[in-house]
Structure 1
Amino acid sequence: MTFQKLHLGIELGSTRVKAVLVNNDLEVVASGVHEWQNNLINGVWTYDLEDVWISIQTTYNNLKENYFNNHNVKLTSISSIGISAMMHGYLALDKYDNLLTPFRTWRNTITESAAYILTNEFLFNIPQRWSIAHLYQSILNNESHVNDISYLTTLAGYVHYKLSGKKVLGIGDASGMFPIDSTIGNYNKTMMNQFNCGIQPYNFKWTLNKILPKILSAGECAGYLSKDGALLLDPSGELQEGIPLCPPEGDAGTGMVATNSIDIHTGNISAGTSVFSMIVLEKELSNVYPEIDVVNTPTGKPVAMVHCNNCTSDINEWIKLFREVNCLFGNEISEDELYSKLFNSAMDAKVSTKGLVHYNYYSGESITEVDDGRPLFIRTPNSELSLGNFMRSLLYSSIATLKIGMDILIESEGIKLNQLLGHGGLFKTKGVGQTILTSALDTLIAVNETAGEGGAWGMAILASYMCNREKYDTLNDYLSNKVFKNNVIEVIEPDKNIQYDFNQYMKEYMSCLDVEKVAIRKLIRE
């Protein structure tokens, strides 16, 4: 069985690289996945670029084999390709395309001074993970590589550049590098001039506008797969060159697409290694909040983003421990069954987290002004340490910082939310993460039947939209009337008992934050 048109989406996430191949009806016809992890090296969270290409090639090869096994046809040509990856971070190249310093990911909280100065200069929140904060911090640190920068981009922009030779970026991903003026669909000129004027005394060889990627919007062609790019993606040489690529996007943008949340009055929550909400704005925020970013959809609309660095990593580590206990007694249990049973143990009506507080901080968390990662579990002597209580406190911890930022949007900005679309690993166990989150936020959290396909599927949609753009007025039109026309959405009402328990948990969580900060200062062993 073959399809006339095939569209490939590849997303480099925090813990895995996934590729999805869809037909023109956006049905998944093949997929591939490869697990990977960042490394903390010399105090910096990073991925080696060699691992980037090994992971991409392994993922694509898995997809190619999956396609052949399913359809008995070799995959040699594709109608369109899209690349997505984690937003933000710092990936600086010289004029010879050499990496000037190890890739600094979004997870780092090492740019506090730069973020503070730029936020006050621009009167616009610049979070620590943004590319411009990393660049300015490098300047403040007098790092010698800065003068040699020829190109500054994101991980998605880097991979796209190596595949196509084009230094471009989708507007959503670009909005996590430097602020966007939504009225013109480009970098904010006033802020760009402020930055360039501010760095004049350094006499760098470059100005900011010369080293940032060109911005493109969804639906535009962003170049073609080169001969070298085809071999980078498929070293076997079977994949043909000349395939059009759509603008590379960040994982936030693909999440919005995968949940049909790119228009005003829509929003979504992505809950995986990190957790963030994306609320498409009808008007600008009235104030600057350090807890809230303003980024953009793949079509350029402004979005309020509450981004928290930590979500499921600590849960995963505890479940590994429980699995080790099972293995010790000779019990073989699948990972899916283990997650399901442990997550569901938190849903018993008798469960209470009184006296139990978790901090899931594998890395720093700007919202709570925590500079470094120290996962921590605190309990009082009279607390009840049952499995259900323990697991619920873990689940609460995964969304506690998100709650702080969301309260600002709802209470201070008066944003009305009828429902949010949820996607990511936290929602994998049916009903559990969804119930916890909808109760904690007192907002309906819906999960659609396609959300499990994730950002790679969202990227494949963007690639297919580029090929079908002339048939639809806008990307929103394409999503509503083509992609999600017959989509089924599951909605769960808030649980009042969980809602009360979570609110009590948050009081203890906030009151114990000083303990977490002391742990960062004291628990150090080189």
Structure 2
Amino acid sequence: MSLDVREAIKNGKTVLGIELGSTRIKAVLIGEDNTPIASGSHDWENSYLHNIWTYSLEDIWKGVQDSYRKMADDVKERYGTALQTIGAIGFSGMMHGYMVFDHAGNQLVPFRTWRNNITEQASAELSELFDFHIPQRWSIAHLYQAILNQEAHISDIHFLTTLAGYIHWKLTGQKNLGVGEASGVFPIDIHTGSFSEVMINQFNERIAAKELPWKLEDILPQVLVAGEHAGVLTEEGAKLLDATGELQAGIPFCPAEGDAGTGMVATNSIAKRTGNVSAGTSVFAMVVLEKELSKAYDEIDLVTTPTGNLVAMAHSNNCSSDLNAWVGLFDEFAKVMGLDVDANKLYGTLYNLALQGDPDGGGLLAYGYLSGEHMTHFEEGRPLFVRSSESNFNLANFMRVHLFTALGALKIGMDILLKQEEVKLDQILGHGGLFKTEGVGQKIMAGALNVPVSVMETAGEGGAWGIALLASYMMNKAENETLEDFLNKNVFAGKAGSQVSPDPKDVEGFEVFMKRYKTGLSIERAAVENLK
């Protein structure tokens, strides 16, 4: 097999996907059978500078180059050959946010990520103008807020894009985005597969009095769908991606996508009546709709699959960060006691202990709001743990309530879809760090949503694998073959997975917890206002 893989590498039959997540940049190289053959990753963290969550351009390129180099080194070590050409490449990244550049390609302000809740006025005004919910983290909300703030850089904007779109532009020279990623920039007209012309005109009319030297359509990227060619790696791009100079130019790129879309591909949940949940630093659920919702909801975003089908997205800014911090505290305690506990064993032990807790978490309450949480209308967050004298305070309940609260804000949005809109779901596919401990995250999620939750064997490959599959689809699809058919036939046929059905006790317990969660939001509000 290694000999066949080596020949595929030499002959450019491989496909590369790189995804920039919140805490890790991962590069995955896949072979002709669409399974990973090499990988590399780079850990990074956002910075909070001048009240903005951001990543510097220097850190972006350092991370991209490091993850690529580690993947290329993995190729050399495993197969004894240098990676000089690749069949196709795709990039994906954290959706939304704000990256703007002038005519010369200079960045005008630091990257404003999805994590910022600083566009409340813009979000409200645009949602009313369009009669379409515009979340605070969307690119258009950031742009309009900057206009409302009369920021000096506005007149100099020549190009507005996302993190994935920026990297794609620098490597190919092309200013385009995949439709799934683009749907988090500005609303998509699902009938045309591009940005809504009606809403673009409404926006231009709204800002006409500002007399800016551009119209919105002038600064937005072109929208492409899965399967279309989105450019090729330039000579400059090849040197930027591979600092050693081994990688050759001319490699085709698929459209850049967002982490939501790549998560849908990696879990094979792009068909109607399917959905997926990505649970890590943030948590979001993507549900492919059979029909449009009855009305706009502040808690629900409408985006698209990489092929342009309508998706309802419930997104929470906070998921596992505070939970991980508590596990880190237990790890610190173990070390103080002279114990060296493996991280996987520590997580596994604590997570499984949560399954022994009371169904509702024993009356305990926690909020993992490390940052603001738009789902419950918080611009800032304060991680909290609260109990009463009557609570059943033990380690099992402590862990259970922290797993519960990691999904609390998400459940508010999902209840709108499943209870109010009566959206039908056959199953949810889970991926991300919350599902690494076998069975636990699944069981908690199934109880929260009252829907069967599946985890595929391949789920751990994540979005980097997902964008690689999109690049493979572009390169290898048969004539008129849909992405859904390509995935079913060439990627997921025969793949095993595990499914956990909701336990009625977990469902009932989570509902009890949610009443406490909603009532206790006033405690979180007091903490934000008084704990600086």
Q: Same fold per TM (> 0.5)?
A: yes
Deviation at 1:349, TM superposition (A): 5.5
Worse overlay, 493-502 or 427-436? 493-502
Cα distance in structure 1, aligned partners of 2:338 and 2:219: 57
Deviation at 1:405, TM superposition (A): 0.7
Tell me, yes or no, if structure 1 residue 469 matches structure 2 residue 477.
Answer: yes
Aligned match of 1:76 in 49, 64, 84? 84
CA contact (8 A) 1:349 1:497 kept: no
CA contact (8 A) 1:266 1:279 kept: yes
Cα distance in structure 2, aligned partners of 1:241 and 1:104: 31
Once the two structures are superposed, the pairs formed by residues 105-124 of structure 1 within 5 Å of their partners are 105-124=113-132
Once the two structures are superposed, the pairs formed by residues 74-113 of structure 1 within 5 Å of their partners are 74-113=82-121
Cα distance in structure 2, aligned partners of 1:50 and 1:446: 38
When the two structures are superposed, what TM-score results if normalisation uses the length of structure 2? 0.97
Tell me, yes or no, if structure 1 residue 340 matches structure 2 residue 345.
Answer: no
Cα distance in structure 2, aligned partners of 1:56 and 1:349: 42
CA contact (8 A) 1:356 1:378 kept: yes
> Which residue does 1:148 correspond to in 2?
156
> Which residue does 2:518 correspond to in 1?
510
> Which residue does 1:263 correspond to in 2?
271
Deviation at 1:385, TM superposition (A): 2.1
Output the amino acid matched with 1:226.
T
Cα distance in structure 1, aligned partners of 2:420 and 2:336: 51
Deviation at 1:105, TM superposition (A): 0.3
Deviation at 1:409, TM superposition (A): 0.6
> Which residue does 1:169 correspond to in 2?
177
Q: Deviations over 1:96-133 (max 9, x none)?
A: 11111110000110000000000000000000000000
Q: Deviations over 1:253-305 (max 9, x none)?
A: 00010011112111111111111111111111111100000001000001000
Tell me, yes or no, if structure 1 residue 393 matches structure 2 residue 393.
Answer: no
Tell me, yes or no, if structure 1 residue 308 matches structure 2 residue 336.
Answer: no
> Which residue does 2:493 correspond to in 1?
485
Consecutive unaligned residues in structure 2, runs of 5 or more: none
Tell me, yes or no, if structure 1 residue 326 matches structure 2 residue 358.
Answer: no
When the two structures are superposed, what TM-score results if normalisation uses the length of structure 1? 0.98
Cα distance in structure 2, aligned partners of 1:162 and 1:217: 20
> Which residue does 2:236 correspond to in 1?
228
CA contact (8 A) 1:422 1:446 kept: yes
**Percent identity of the aligned residues?**
52
Q: Deviations over 1:481-522 (max 9, x none)?
A: 111111112111212332222221111111110110111111
CA contact (8 A) 1:90 1:154 kept: yes
Output the amino acid matched with 1:152.
L
Cα distance in structure 2, aligned partners of 1:171 and 1:258: 17
> Which residue does 2:254 correspond to in 1?
246
Call closer, same or farther: CA 1:464–1:155 in 2, change over 3 Å.
same
Call closer, same or farther: CA 1:302–1:359 in 2, change over 3 Å.
same
Cα distance in structure 2, aligned partners of 1:472 and 1:447: 30
CA contact (8 A) 2:282 2:319 kept: yes
Worse overlay, 324-333 or 286-295? 324-333
Deviation at 1:135, TM superposition (A): 0.3
Deviation at 1:382, TM superposition (A): 2.5
CA contact (8 A) 1:347 1:388 kept: yes
CA RMSD of aligned residues (A): 1.0
CA contact (8 A) 2:360 2:510 kept: no
State the SS of the aligned residue for 1:503: helix
CA contact (8 A) 2:454 2:497 kept: yes
CA contact (8 A) 2:359 2:508 kept: no
> Which residue does 2:417 correspond to in 1?
409
Aligned match of 1:207 in 209, 215, 218? 215
Cα distance in structure 1, aligned partners of 2:358 and 2:185: 46
State the SS of the aligned residue for 2:25: strand
Aligned match of 1:279 in 287, 292, 297? 287
State the SS of the aligned residue for 1:381: coil
State the SS of the aligned residue for 1:374: coil
Worse overlay, 366-375 or 107-116? 366-375
CA contact (8 A) 1:279 1:304 kept: yes
State the SS of the aligned residue for 1:224: coil
Call closer, same or farther: CA 1:60–1:27 in 2, change over 3 Å.
same
Call closer, same or farther: CA 1:491–1:251 in 2, change over 3 Å.
same
Tell me, yes or no, if structure 1 residue 53 matches structure 2 residue 61.
Answer: yes
State the SS of the aligned residue for 2:284: strand
CA contact (8 A) 1:472 1:478 kept: no
Aligned match of 1:38 in 34, 42, 46? 46
Aligned match of 1:296 in 293, 304, 309? 304
Q: Deviations over 1:193-238 (max 9, x none)?
A: 0001111111111111010100011011110101111111110001
Call closer, same or farther: CA 1:394–1:240 in 2, change over 3 Å.
same
Output the amino acid matched with 1:438.
A
Deviation at 1:369, TM superposition (A): 1.0
Deviation at 1:472, TM superposition (A): 5.5
Deviation at 1:470, TM superposition (A): 3.0
> Which residue does 2:26 correspond to in 1?
18
Once the two structures are superposed, the pairs formed by residues 373-392 of structure 1 within 5 Å of their partners are 373-392=381-400
State the SS of the aligned residue for 1:422: strand
Cα distance in structure 2, aligned partners of 1:9 and 1:439: 33
Q: Deviations over 1:26-74 (max 9, x none)?
A: 1110000111011111111111110000001111111011111111111
CA contact (8 A) 2:126 2:141 kept: yes
Cα distance in structure 2, aligned partners of 1:270 and 1:261: 12
Output the amino acid matched with 2:423.
I
Deviation at 1:143, TM superposition (A): 0.3
Output the amino acid matched with 1:107.
R
State the SS of the aligned residue for 1:470: coil
Output the amino acid matched with 2:310.
P
Output the amino acid matched with 1:172.
G
CA contact (8 A) 2:276 2:428 kept: yes
Deviation at 1:352, TM superposition (A): 5.3
CA contact (8 A) 1:351 1:388 kept: no
Give the number of aligned pairs. Answer: 524
Cα distance in structure 2, aligned partners of 1:470 and 1:417: 30
CA contact (8 A) 2:359 2:510 kept: no
Cα distance in structure 2, aligned partners of 1:471 and 1:331: 59
CA contact (8 A) 1:3 1:23 kept: no
Aligned match of 1:66 in 65, 74, 93? 74
Worse overlay, 47-56 or 347-356? 347-356
State the SS of the aligned residue for 2:518: helix
> Which residue does 2:528 correspond to in 1?
520
Output the amino acid matched with 1:345.
L
Cα distance in structure 2, aligned partners of 1:517 and 1:412: 27
Output the amino acid matched with 2:315.
H
Output the amino acid matched with 2:519.
S
Consecutive unaligned residues in structure 1, runs of 5 or more: none
